[in-house]
Amino acid sequence: MIPIFDAHCDALQRALDLGHDLGGETHGHFDLAKAARGGVRGICLTAWVDGTYADEVGASKRRTNALLDAADDLFAAHPGKLRRVDDPAGFDALPAGLIGCVLAIEGGHAIEDDLGQLEHYAGRGVRVMTLTWNNHLSWARSCRDGAGAGVPEGLSGLGRDVVKRMGELGMLVDLSHAGERTFYDALECAASPPIVSHSGCSALADHPRNVTDDQLRALKEKGGVIGIPFATAFLDEDERAAERAYRDTDEYRAVKGGDPTESLLLQGDAIQTALAPFPLEHVVRHVMHALEVCGPEHVAIGSDFDGIDRRPAGLEDASGYQVLMEALRGRGLDGATCERIAFSNAQRILSEAFGARIR
Ligand SMILES: [Zn+2]
């Protein structure tokens, strides 16, 4: 099996909200049992903070810390399976059979405009943060429309300070969800090459969450990496239209869990059953296009497992990564290129960020 490093996974919310023990087999996309079958050696577990938490002072911090608590519980419960990695030597020092886990935050509103809070998260071991989620911040514009007054075109002065401080703290800047100007501003002031952890290629599917070929070239120029997602809506426009139509049905709307995390999980089961299998080929197309534009040292995988409802056929959960690798081999990629995409590009860019830390 080719070792896998998945640069973006939202499974922590299942641990926190549903009490799932990710150390074993669970109802969901990513857990350590499925990861073992899929050949996972590294994972970014992300504390995703819904934009609605930004509406109440203190709520984003509480949610982020609670998700990080869930991660700590997971590390404590399964020391023989999973180890937190937060320094440049971490992956090299990882014993065989253990999965290295890098903690991430999705949504810069988690810091509530406070560089001290960023330092607090770094102290808890967080080493990756997306500058924005889909909501806009007073210091950074997201990729979505509808930015109101007070939202800068790209990064504000505070936004630049956040990016610089992240560099000093050894944190990798993640530009998925960032607006285009935010993306270029961050490339300019980041201390180490950024990642776009879970975005597709605009050239193949026009979606605000995807990045243009110009952005891919700029990312490559800076030494950065793009993680191709399994989020079907980003990968094919026709399939996205079919999903939108299904999500608009009473059947889909009737699928509700006890909270948003359970609802997402159950909606995923429903859409997976209701629609025809999503062809894996679309994931392959985005990988191949990114390779063509950026070259083999700048492409990785960022599944977005447990943050999406519909998944590609064969990649329904973390046991399926090797199916993608086989498909890439089938397209003529050699073993060394597959290994880079699967693992070492993500490891390299994280290690560069860790190494930039001021000690
Ligand atoms: Zn995301």
Q: Confirm whether 142 is domain-assigned.
A: yes
Q: Report CA(133)–ligand 1 centroid distance (Å).
A: 6
For residue 88, pLDDT beyond 90: no
How many Cβ atoms are within 10 Å of 204's Cβ, its own excluded?
A: 18
- The crossing angle, in degrees rounded to 10, of helices 115-123 and 157-168 is 20
- pLDDT for residue 175 is more than 60: yes
Distance CA 139, CA 151 (A): 7
The verdict on residue 15 lying in a domain is yes
- The closest of 219, 134, 128, 138 to 178, measured between CA atoms, is 134
Between CA 171 and CA 192 the distance in angstroms is: 9
335 CA to centre of ligand 1 in angstroms:
29
Cα 197 to Cα 45, 172, 212, 288, 298: the distances in Å are 12, 10, 15, 16, 11
Q: How far is the CA of 314 from the centre of ligand 1 (A)?
A: 21
In this prediction, residues 294-320 reach a mean pLDDT of 98
* CA of residue 95 to ligand 1 center, whole Å: 30
Structure confidence by residue, pLDDT tens digits, 119-143: 999 999 999 999 999 999 999 999 9
Amino acid (1-letter code) at residue 204 = L
Write down the pLDDT at residue 178: 98
Cβ proximity of 354 and 127 under 8 Å: yes
94 Cα: distance to centroid of ligand 1 (angstroms):
28
State the Cα–Cα distance between residues 14 and 24, nearest whole angstrom. 13
Ligand 1 centre to CA of 177 (Å) is 7
Residue 244, domain member (yes or no): no
Identify the three-state secondary structure at position 256: coil
Ligand 1 centre to CA of 45 (Å) is 12
**How many domains does the chain contain in total?**
1
Asked if residue 19 belongs to a domain, the reply is yes
Question: Assign residue 21 a region: left if phi > 0, alpha if psi is -120 to 50, beta otherwise?
Answer: beta
Buried b (16+ CB within 10 A) or exposed e, 109-119: bbbbeeeebbe
Core vs surface per residue 51-70: b (16+ CB within 10 A) or e? bebbeeeebbbebbbebbeb
Q: How much distance in Å is there from the Cα of 304 to the middle of ligand 1? A: 7
In this structure, is residue 214 part of a structural domain? yes
CA 317, 30, 78 angle in degrees (round to 5)? 145
State what percent of residues in the chain have pLDDT above 70.
99
Ligand 1 center to residue 214 CA distance, Å? Answer: 21
**Is 254 a domain residue?**
no
Express each pLDDT in 212-242 by its tens digit. 999 999 999 999 999 999 999 999 999 999 9
Is the pLDDT at 357 greater than 70? The verdict is no
Q: Cα(303) to centroid of ligand 1, in Å?
A: 10
334: domain CATH number is 3.20.20.140
Summarize the confidence of residues 188-196 as an average pLDDT. Answer: 96
Q: Which residues pair with 167 in a beta bridge?
A: none
Q: pLDDT at residue 341 above 90?
A: yes
Query: How far apart are the CA of 197 and the centre of ligand 1, in A?
Result: 8
**Is 246 part of a structural domain of the chain?**
no
Domain membership of residue 240 (yes or no) is no
Task: Give the domain range for residue 287.
Answer: 4-233+279-355
Q: Is residue 359 over pLDDT 60?
A: no
**Residue 160's pLDDT is what?**
98
Please tell me the distance between residue 130's alpha carbon and the centre of ligand 1 in angstroms.
Answer: 8
Given the structure tokens 């290129």, which residue do they identify?
337
How much distance in Å is there from the Cα of 198 to the middle of ligand 1? Answer: 7
Q: Do residues 3 and 339 touch, judged by C-beta distance below 8 A? A: yes
DSSP state of 108: G
